[in-house]
Structure 1
Amino acid sequence: MEDSFDKSKIVEVKPLRSLAPVLPKHVQSVFSREYPSGFPPFYSFVKPHQIPLPKEAEEIPLDDKVAEKTPVKAAAAAAHDTPVAAKVTPIRAYKSSHDEEMNQQGDGDNNDYSEGFIGDKQKRSTDNIENCKEFLRRKKNKTREASVGGTSSYVGVNPTLKDDGDRESVNHVLMTFDSIRRRLCQLEESKELNNALAIKRADLRASNALTCKGFKTNTRRRAGVVPGIEIGDVFFFRMEMCLVGLHAQSMGGIDYMSIKDGSKEDTVALSVVSSGVYGDDTEDNNVLIYSGQGENFNKKDKHVTDQKLQRGNLALDRSAQRHDEVRVIRGVRDPMNRSAKIYMYDGLYKIQDSWIERGKSGGGIFKYKLVRLPGQKIAYAAWKLAQKWKAGSCARNGFILADLSNGVESIPVSLVNDVDDEKGPAFFTYFTSLKNPKPFGLVQPSLSCNCNTACVPGDLNCSCIQRNEGDFPYTANSVLVSRKPLIHECGPMCRCFPTCKNRVSQTGLKQHMEVFRTKGRGWGLRTLDPIRAGTFICEYAGEVINRAKVYQNVEGDNDEYVFDTSRIYEPFKWNYEPSLLEDVSSNVCSEDYTIPSPLIISARNVGNIARFMNHSCSPNVFWQPVLYAENNQSFIHIAFFALRHIPPMAELTYDYGITHAGHAGGSSALRRRKKCLCGSARCRGFFG
């Protein structure tokens, strides 16, 4: 193939300052090589002039102040015996006086952590639950330990899991981080933070609070797989990735470290974060074209410069030569907040090619072609496909119906079955709230607030805020701050605007959902959008019934669509831990729900998407009672919120609980409990 692109013009524009590269006169064309087996040809690079230039020629520099002090043993980052990627012609393997200096630098966190608060993981027995009494006993014990005024329920990261974590420790760290961040946002929005302490970036302060306590996991720096982190996990903040050891740079796009390779030290790349704004994305979702780091103009005199082969760029060049695996995190603009990004871990890649390209400003930019290793779970590709499905621009297998709600929901709910021949669920009437609700006789000084526009956090004159113990229950972006015995929302009787932030559970769906056919568990519900922890999912809609009606047909068909607030549910901690916010006055409330009387809802004949959520012993959704006034009466509703960050295409599940043996029909319910197929490591074996 004729090469019309003279690459030597780029590398000879200006020698990389302070380096002494040894370059051939004519750089071999990167487009003439054959691709290794297992990788499709990347046709976007057949004609170099067709490559779109990046919108910005700058790359965010790494922090020079942070240095890697503890190199990982050579065995941890040794090259594989059988490389997957093709032999790479490096940007340049060179010898320079800067080699030793650059190899000593790193931007990772200091691994010398204090022990902080630590404790053993509390293991739950899954084999000896014989009846509801045992389940209830465990619930009471855990509630007593977590009660306000009692022994602190704060359990840090087990010392054995600090260097090398697991799934439970990763989730524990992430949920703790987000609980603190939400609380700081709540305090800041209500102006309760002291001016000297107020920080607009609640994520940075939450990260600092955990770091000071040694509340981290996977602190041992490593290449390749990070224990406890799964492909497809999403992160809404860069600091989350730092705390769990996925990517140690809070700003830099390339994470790297120094290693000993025989008698010398070398620098290798561990992970990269693709910002999505430098022309990184390609038509092939398994290929990433990554731009090197470094500015393309001198800030002082504005002269165009070339990127330097040092730090992260040098690490990628070395990893290319060694055929090392590099973790790739994809950044995508948050559809709910265009000024923010969502990050997805997309698995392991290898650098297949590298070259230098002239940037928009005229300077040389390092380019690296990373190809995803085959055999991994699809993640980013599935996300991109879901975006096409939402837009209706892509046909799909098993598609049945565009909108199951028939226009009732503001966002259509699609129906899909690519598993079997089932054409759809049994007939039911789609309804978004409660049918025949029963008012609760709560004594309230006022059923509505008198706010003229919208309720304002920190306004103690607002009666709705007063009933929430002085705290606004949601952040400015409508995220629930803490679980409470009962959340009081503004209702139709309040004078505030319908757009008031204290009406979150009444505003309908905010994410694109679809009902899909599962393998062996009937119909299920999954999201096409990433969902942040604390985000409202939907209300459990249906007909309010009495308990006798639920069990009147003891030996007949059981109603599988019943939600019962009096069931026994596995306790869990979701709220922030006050001991991690020692300089902030905290208003700690119990996470045990206090509903005046049992609320039983049947969605068998009337309901919404909540009726399709399956059970899991390790759910990603939880329910919260919410009360607001309508027609001079107060009604309790059941609202579902995200327990943790949920990636796109993930199934939504919650804990069904188990029926109390002492209730009417309880003995029959014990006989008709169903075998649990959730597959969780904490599965208790049954539900219902």
Structure 2
Amino acid sequence: MEARKTQEDAVLDVKPLRSLAPMFPAPYGFNTTFSFSGSSPPFVCVSPFGDSSSSENSFHAFFTAPAPSSPPAKAQPLAANGPYPQSRVPINLHENSEQAIHTSSYGRKVKPSGKMSRSFYNGWGDSETEGGSERSKSRRRKRPRKITDLSLICPSSLDPRESVEVVLMTFDALRRRLLQLDETTDASKRADLKAGAIMTANDLRANVGKRIGSVPGVDVGDIFFFRIELCLVGMHAPSMGGIDYMITKYSGADEPAAISIVSSGGYENDEGDANVLIYTGQGGGVGNRHAEKIQLDDQKLERGNLALEKSMHRGNSVRVIRSAKDMNLISGKIYIYDGLYKIHESWIDKGKSGFNIFKYKLLREPGQPEGLGVWKRTTEWRSNPSSRGKVILPDISSGIENLPVCLVNEVDDAKGPNHFTYSTSLKYMRPVSSMRPLESCPCLSVCLPGDANCSCSQQNDGILPYSSSGLLVSRKSMVYECNNLCSCTINCRNRVTQKGLKLHFEVFRTRDRGWGLRSWDAIRAGTFICEFAGEVVQKIEVDDYGEETHYNFRATYLDEKTKKWNHTPELIGEPSINQNEIFKPLPIIIDAKNVGNIARFMNHSCSPNVFWQPVLYDHGEEGYPHIMFFAIKHIPPMTELTFDYGVSGDDKLSSLAGIKGPKECLCGSPKCRGVFG
């Protein structure tokens, strides 16, 4: 979806919060700036990490510089519900100069006299259980080199949405790979922080520059699993602080303007209403007592608090990112972009600790797509599936799947798809027992990373293909999971796809493409979706009109987006890989017309969010693997799941089936080819 071109989206005349030289975008397509026609002057490009002066969990930038000689001026206190005070002192632009990132005239960081702050890795973003936090000795890998030709990662001719998706996909692929390597090298630093540092050092970012209003390429309802992701796409610059702001020129004077807030549970916020947010200001020396955050002093009308107060009187929009618990990780969070809000009123209140806190009431602007509202509904459905309306069947699988799959129609009077037998597995032409067996591992309990005696690990190039939380790290020509002859238990991390569905799905009626598939859960990139179940056949069957069935799968095509899903090895000093060598067509053909599962309902898209991966676990016939689907990117709840069917060519399979040609595509994506199949 293209960025909204409203007056509120126009970029104001700004000044950087810290002493930064102008930062111009690199000519690679990632650091994309978007100019607006009209009288609005261009914005000053600043570091995506923005102001970090909040007294809550202060963050040290990459490089340090000498502290300023004079302390910042103090702002005047706010009278509760009183008139806007004219005597407030504006924020001292140099109050954070000791945290400035030094740049050349071309926006590249130059080495200062000081050393990189160690706290960069220790205080950024939200933790992930996979990463670990204890300091330990580790083997050093080859030092990554600066990437000079980013066109190797992605061409520069990207629209804003693609730029954002490429940045996020590159970051998460890099993070997963670093996490995989760290497990065998006993490294101590978190993979997300290291990936963020590498991305920033190579200028792999989108929307470099602060702005009021919507961010190009980011849609309402988009989800993020790390705070650094918000930084990399220009949504919210502070890596820890909840309020992002910039200095603007207003009536001839420099004033702070709030541009975004993150409501992550660090303060006493009220998030009960999907369209109203009661937000608590920052500061006051927040500390921890018995694992509970408490206030240690009165909050002051400065920095982010002052910016919110100014924005309330000026009436400018503020981006709001809400958070929810990640059910797959103990301490993880999911960040949901909930759209633009305006500050309706502010007041001073007493916090739970007895100190003064600022409160701001924000109202969601009308006419926007749903964000948190979708999240709240799907949360209710997961806990009580009967609360889902317009249900035709409560479970289309008739109890075969681990979780029920609703059949829903909110569009027309159709009562359901044509009859088929629901199955969760492949039906081969000959018994699995007669096929070549896989080698089994002798691992006790579970397979461990770096175990040279684990034959299953050795089949996967010497490293386990899944992270400890079950995410696929990289797409491979074949993934080998543990099998029934292995000594490890069902809890082994190398048994992911064979365990079946772990997400809440629904089959729903689309407006113009028949039936589709979507999930009630937020899906993380690399998450297992489902298997393409059906009957393995010699050739694709055709109907009475000489056309192939819509319910078949051929492993003869891999889209470009999937080919680039893996990490860029040059970023971490690994040898380059020719991505074209990864894919090899397979002879397997699966027909799900009469026998199948939920995968038969996944529609085609030229910009898919799901890809297929061959997996073996019950036999060793590499030409006839299980076809498993994984998430290409983070997928918000109630987003249709799609993969790229490809386009028919002159291959022998097409001629055998009598396929007359490709079909008209209705995916509606900006990169739509117009045909598929």
Residues 73-152 of structure 1: matches in 2 within 5 Å? 89=81, 93=85, 95-96=87-88, 98-101=89-92, 114=107
**CA-to-aligned-CA distance 1:533-586 (integer Å, 9 cap, x gap):** 011101111111111xx245573463111001124645631111112113xx46
Give the match for residue 393 of structure 2: 401
**Which residue does 1:329 correspond to in 2?**
321
Change (3 A) 1:497 1:99: same
2:587–2:624 contact (8 Å) kept in structure 1? no
The residue number in structure 1 matching 2:614 is 625
| 2:518 aligned residue | 526
Q: What SS does the corresponding residue of 2:273 show, helix, strand or coil?
A: coil
Sort the Cα spacing of 1:545 and 1:632 in 2 relative to 1 into closer, same or farther, 3 A: closer
Q: Quote the Cα distance in structure 1 between the aligned partners of 2:503 and 2:407.
A: 15
Amino acid paired to 1:243: L
Shift of 1:438: 5.4
2:355 to 353, 357, 363: 363
CA contact (8 A) 1:296 1:363 kept: no
Q: CA RMSD in A?
A: 3.4
Shift, 1:518, TM fit: 0.5
Of 253-262 and 431-440, more deviation after overlay is shown by 431-440
- Assess, with a 3 A threshold, how the Cα gap between structure 1 residues 408 and 217 changes in structure 2: closer, same or farther: same
Q: Deviations over 1:259-306 (max 9, x none)?
A: 122332101111000114544344420111111111357999x99521
Amino acid at match of 1:561: Y
- The reply to whether residue 573 of structure 1 matches residue 564 of structure 2 is yes
Residue 555 of structure 2 aligns to which amino acid in structure 1?
Answer: T
In structure 2, the CA distance between the partners of 1:346 and 1:237, relative to structure 1 (3 Å rule), is same
Do the aligned partners of 1:493 and 1:631 also contact (CA within 8 Å) in 2?
no
Match of 1:515 in 2: 507
Using the size of structure 2 for normalisation, the TM-score is 0.77
TM-fit CA distance, 1:479: 0.6
1:190 aligns with 2:184: yes
Residue identity opposite 2:510 in structure 1 = T
CA contact (8 A) 1:561 1:602 kept: yes
**2:542·2:549 contact (CA, 8 Å) conserved in 1?**
no
Could you tell me which of 199, 217, 227 is aligned with 2:206? 217
Which segment is superposed worse, 395-404 or 244-253? 395-404
Structure 1: give runs of 5+ residues left out of the alignment: 1-57, 70-87, 117-150
- By how many angstroms is 1:89 displaced? 4.8
Q: Please tell me the residue identity of whatever aligns with 1:562.
A: N
User: 3-state SS of the aligned residue for 1:177?
Assistant: helix
Q: Gaps spanning 5+ residues in structure 2: where?
A: 1-53, 66-79, 110-147
1:472 aligns with 2:469: no
Q: Decide whether the 8 Å contact of 1:493 with 1:632 is kept in 2.
A: no
Contact kept in structure 2, 1:539 and 1:640, CA below 8 Å: yes
Greater shift, 424-433 or 656-665, is seen at 656-665
Quote the Cα distance in structure 2 between the aligned partners of 1:179 and 1:586.
16
Give the letter for the 2:545 counterpart: E
Query: Within the alignment, does 1:546 sit opposite 2:535 as a pair?
Result: no
Q: Quick check: 1:200 aligned with 2:180?
A: no
1:376 corresponds to which residue?
Answer: 368
Which residue of the other structure, out of 224, 229, 249, is the alignment partner of 1:240? 229
Matches within 5 A, 1:165-180: 166-180=160-174
Q: Does 1:563 align with 2:553?
A: yes
Correspondence 1:60 to 2:56: yes
- State the Cα distance separating 1:234 from its structure 2 match: 0.5
For residues 14-29 of structure 1, the aligned pairs below 5 Å read none
> Are the equivalent residues in 1 in contact too, given 2:648–2:661 (CA < 8 A)?
no
Which whole-Å CA distance do the structure 2 matches of 1:178 and 1:460 have between them?
27
> Structure 1's 297 and 486: CA in aligned 2 closer, same or farther, altered over 3 A?
closer
Q: What is the DSSP-based 3-state SS (H/G/I as helix, E as strand, rest coil) of the residue aligned with 2:332?
A: strand
Give the equivalent residue in structure 2 for 1:22.
none
Contact 2:609 2:631 survives alignment (8 Å): yes
Q: How far apart, CA to CA, are the structure 2 residues paired with 1:236 and 1:437?
A: 43
Counterpart residue type for residue 566 of structure 1: T
Residue 258 of structure 1 is aligned with which of 232, 247, 250? Answer: 247
| Shift in Å, 1:658 | 2.5
Does 1:320 find its partner at 2:312? yes
The question of whether the paired residues in 2 share the 8 Å contact of 1:533 and 1:646 is answered with yes
Q: Is the 8 A contact 1:281 1:289 kept in 2?
A: yes
Distance 1:343 1:603, change over 3 A: same
Instruction: Verify: 1:610 aligned to 2:599, yes or no.
Output: yes
Structure 1 residue 441 displacement after superposition: 13
Whether 1:155 and 2:152 are equivalent positions in the alignment is: yes
Partner Cα distance (1:455, 1:385) in 2: 39
Whole-Å separation in 1 of the counterparts to 2:151 and 2:393:
47
3-state SS of 2:330 partner: strand
2:47 aligns to what? none
Alignment partner of 2:668 out of 679, 682, 688: 679
Against the structure 1 CA distance between its residues 553 and 665, is the aligned structure 2 distance closer, same or farther, given a 3 Å change threshold? farther
| Matched residue SS, 1:677 | coil
Q: Give matches, 1:39-58, under 5 Å.
A: none
CA distance in 1, matches of 2:251, 2:623: 73
Query: What do residues 305-329 of structure 1 show as CA deviations (whole Å, max 9, x unaligned)?
Result: 2111111111111111110100000
**Aligned-pair distance for 1:65?**
6.3
Label 1:303 to 1:678 Cα distance change in 2 as closer, same or farther (>3 A): closer
Amino acid aligned to 1:565: A
Amino acid at match of 1:274: S
1:135 counterpart residue number: none
What does residue 283 of structure 2 align with? 294
Deviations for 1:64-101, whole angstroms, at most 9, x for unmatched residues? Answer: 769999xxxxxxxxxxxxxxxxxx956853525x5342
How far off its partner does 1:596 sit? 8.0
Deviation at 1:353, TM superposition (A): 1.0
Shift of 1:601: 0.6
CA deviation map 1:29-72 (0-9, x unaligned)? xxxxxxxxxxxxxxxxxxxxxxxxxxxxx983454769999xxx
Distance 1:160 1:400, change over 3 A: closer
CA distance in 1, matches of 2:57, 2:208: 23
SS at match of 2:152: coil
Q: Which moved more, 1:244-253 or 1:104-113?
A: 104-113
Matched, 1:386 2:378: yes
1:346 aligns with 2:338: yes
Q: SS of the residue aligned with 1:338?
A: coil
1:485·1:592 contact (CA, 8 Å) conserved in 2?
no
In 2, the alpha carbon distance for the partners of 1:358 and 1:456 equals 51
In structure 2, C-alpha distance between the alignment counterparts of 1:510 and 1:220, rounded to whole Å:
39
**SS across alignment from 2:333:** strand
* AA aligned opposite 2:162: E
SS of the equivalent of 2:529 reads strand
8 A Cα contact 2:394 2:407, kept in partner: yes
* Counterpart residue number, 2:123: none
The CA distance in 2 between the partners of 1:321 and 1:516, in whole Å, is 45
Aligned match of 1:148: none
Aligned-partner residue type, residue 541 of structure 1: A
The TM-score normalised by the length of structure 1 is: 0.75
Q: Distance in 2 between matches of 1:317 and 1:68?
A: 30
Residue 152 and residue 541 in structure 1: after superposition, are their counterparts in 2 closer, same or farther (change >3 A)?
Answer: farther
Deviation at 1:445, TM superposition (A): 10
Moved more, 332-341 or 393-402: 393-402
Q: For residues 90 and 505 of structure 1, do their structure 2 counterparts lie closer, same or farther at Cα, with a shift above 3 Å needed?
A: farther
Summarize deviations over 1:229-282 as a string: whole Å, max 9, x none: 111111000001101100001111001111122332101111000114544344
1:60 aligned partner, one-letter code: E
- Which one of 456, 460, 465 corresponds to residue 448 of structure 2? 456
The equivalent of 1:429 in structure 2 is 421
Cα gap change, 1:61 to 1:67, in 2 (>3 Å): farther
User: Per-residue displacement from partner, 1:416-459 (whole Å, max 9, x unpaired)?
Assistant: 10100111111211111111255899999962111121111111
